[in-house]
Chains A and B, each alone.
Chain A
Amino acid sequence: MRHNSTAANGIRRDGAVTRRRFLGSGIVAATSAIVAPYVIRSAAAKGETLYINTWGGSWERSASESFFQPFTKATGVEIKTQSPVTFAKLKAEVVTGQYEWDVTTQGQPDCVRALRENLLEPVNYKIVDPAKLSPNAITYNGIASHALGTCLAYRKDRFPNGGPQSWKDFWDIARFPGNRSMYKNAARVLPAALLADGVPRDKLFPLDVDRAFRKLDQIKPHIKVWWQDGSQSEQLLRDNEVDMIQIWNGRAAQLIRQKVPVQLVWRDAEILTVNWIVVRGTPRADLAWKYIQFAHQPELQAKFALTMDYGPANPKAFEYIPEAAAKQLPTWHENEKVAYHPDPEWTGAHMNDIAKRFNAWLVS
């Protein structure tokens, strides 16, 4: 009679499937099933994904609807996003050669700063056709995407008799008592201080930094929190942690849409043009430029402007925006009249110094 003994390696002499053998093959099958997607995906997905850096939250949702999904539909290129936007990541990617994302958005002063540190990919004119873009769209190795307003906003329910209408009012603790918050960004805070001190809008730059800090000393004890993240600023105003705040107009508009009693003030606002830029040395630079050119189309810009309330950089987009909505945008002519544009060259050159001084001032 044959002995159906199980040899040391678990295989029975008669070849029947033992428990040990079943488990062994099962593990092999399971492992390959788990690993397979990675292997197969990397083979098929080369060059078909673009990685974009976004500001997250409501900004990313708007951008996804307005730009990313149409791009994927038109070209088949998948877009993966990463947030938040930090200047440091841009430098880190160029220094280490590891590209977590290829495209990002930065205000023009930061683009100047990035240019000085040689972090940007030069515009690829083989893909980008200036004739298809609006005039002056290409600045500082990037293509203008939208205009962002940094304004004063306050809770209407805390100021039933009217709230602050300018930075001077923001500094007026007696007339407008309440908790305050400002953006923890020297380039945004210093001009606001100068405006509160009476400097006319067209004489802001170059900034009188000492004068700005003297003025800031007055308001410092009354600032409850210095926000660093866009969503944080939304939450501060929504939860009434603060009564008035320096906030991006798009975020305030989101709150107003959600029926939070917020009033946005356009006087003394800063209108910053934001560019799409490509990280220097990324392997997907061609795809990146294709995307950026695609995103400049007027209909897409109009859609983004309507959902996020940031002014389109492409003037043709205004043809697709109803006038009622257009009034809320930073690039609406009435709003532009009472606001100021920062000087990208001066700010880009001095950003580091004023940021350092500002951070030291905050902690002291």
Chain B
Amino acid sequence: MTQAATGTATIGIDRGGTLRAWFLVGPAMLFIGVLFVLPLIRIVVTSVTDPTVSLRNYVEFFSAGLYARVLANTIYTALTVTVCCLLLGYPLAYVIVRRGGTLAVILLLVVGMSFWTSFLVRTYAWMVILGNRGPVVAAFHWFGVDPAPQVLYTRFSSTLGMVHILIPYMVMSLYAAMRKINPDHLRAAASLGASPFQAFRNVYLPLSLPGVVNGCTLVFIICLGFYVTPVLLGGPRDQMIAGLIGEQIQELLEWGLASAMAVVLLATTLALLAIYNRLVGLDKLWG
């Protein structure tokens, strides 16, 4: 009984110490190790052994202008999507947190339902909405613009689809951070003579910055690996690197080159995470 009263302030690591910790973490580590780490190692090995043991896949990747251009396009698109998600998601999260009440619940529900709907379904929904028989083209015709400008299979539609799918991530991150901001700070600022805008700019915004960085990093990294949506909604020039990897695997059977591209993408992502860790700290990612 005394054990329970005194020793259990640290969670579970009281007696049996590290052994018990390993025992608890063991199954999960085995799961991730066998099903995630091992295949990843195999991909890295394939990238340097298929078709011959050499670095020629990497050389081909960086020397052919095509692949580097697609990678640059991917990063640029991911940046665009991140900025759009931020601009749209910040006000949404702000209203949810500050207003509260029924409106906040409804908004959260809407964001949640969008989040839980399969992204493939949402992509197809955009195909219908932006397609020739959809409301957008109908609106153009109604305003007398015939033939309507092409909306589907463009950079715009591809970006729009990705923003729609990734906004819930941004809103959730911002919401988690904004919730912790004590509203008394803003009242204090008002009592010291700040206008609402000044209070927002000097107090609220800096306090919400960790959430902003969180959300942006999350959205950016997910967007880097986006496969289905750009393929279904975008044109052939808007292809992102994941689509290119898919092509190499499915049609061209160039598995060595595809592995090399996947490794480059992974390295880029890890580099970004390293920068993020340097600036903010990885443990901040989960609040």
Contact = CB atoms under 8 A, between A and B. Distances in A.
A363 B251 contact: no
Interface string A349-364: 0001001100110111
Interface string B206-248: 0000000000000000000000000000011101000010010
A360 B60 CA distance: 13
B251 A241 contact: no
B132 interface: yes
Interface string A67-107: 00000000000000000001110010000000000000000
Contacts of A362: 236-237
A356 B252 contact: yes
Nearest to A91: B253
Interface string B136-172: 0000000000000010110000000000000000000
A138 B174 CA distance: 64
Nearest to B238: A363
Contact of A352 (B132, B235, B252): B252
Contact of A364 (B66, B150, B152): B66
Contacts, number: 46
Interface residues of A, number: 20
A363 B153 contact: no
Interface in A107-132: 117
Given A239-B131, A240-B132, A240-B133, A355 B236 contact: no
B250 A359 contact: no
Taking each of A86, A88, A91, A226, which has the highest tally of chain B beta carbons within 10 Å of its own beta carbon? A88
B249 interface: yes
Interface string A123-158: 000000000000000000000000000000000000
A272 B146 CA distance: 39
A92 to B, nearest CB: 9
A113 B150 CA distance: 38
A363 B239 contact: yes
A104 to B, nearest CB: 14
B153 A224 contact: yes
B70 interface: yes
A360 B132 contact: no
Contact of A88 (B64, B235, B249): B249
A241 B253 CA distance: 31
Interface string B64-77: 10100110000000
Interface in B49-107: 64, 66, 69-70
Interface string B247-264: 101111110000000000
A226 B152 contact: no
A363 B250 contact: no
A179 B64 CA distance: 32
B66 A360 contact: yes
A359 B252 contact: yes
Given A363-B66, A363-B237, A241 B252 contact: no
B236 A226 contact: yes
A87 B253 contact: yes
Contacts of B249: 88
A239 B236 contact: no
B251 A355 contact: yes
Given A224-B153, A363-B239, A239 B132 contact: yes
Given A87-B253, A240-B133, A241-B132, 7 more contacts: A91-B253, A225-B153, A225-B235, A241-B152, A362-B236, A363-B69, A363-B239
28 contacts: A86-B250, A87-B250, A88-B249, A88-B251, A91-B253, A117-B253, A179-B150, A224-B150, A224-B153, A226-B236, A239-B131, A239-B133, A241-B131, A241-B132, A352-B253, A355-B251, A359-B247, A360-B64, A360-B66, A362-B237, A363-B66, A363-B69, A363-B70, A363-B236, A363-B239, A363-B244, A364-B66, A364-B237
The 3 closest A-B pairs by CB, nearest first: A362-B236, A88-B250, A225-B153
Interface of A: 86-88, 91, 117, 179, 224-226, 239-241, 352, 355-356, 359-360, 362-364
Interface of B: 64, 66, 69-70, 131-133, 150, 152-153, 235-237, 239, 244, 247, 249-254
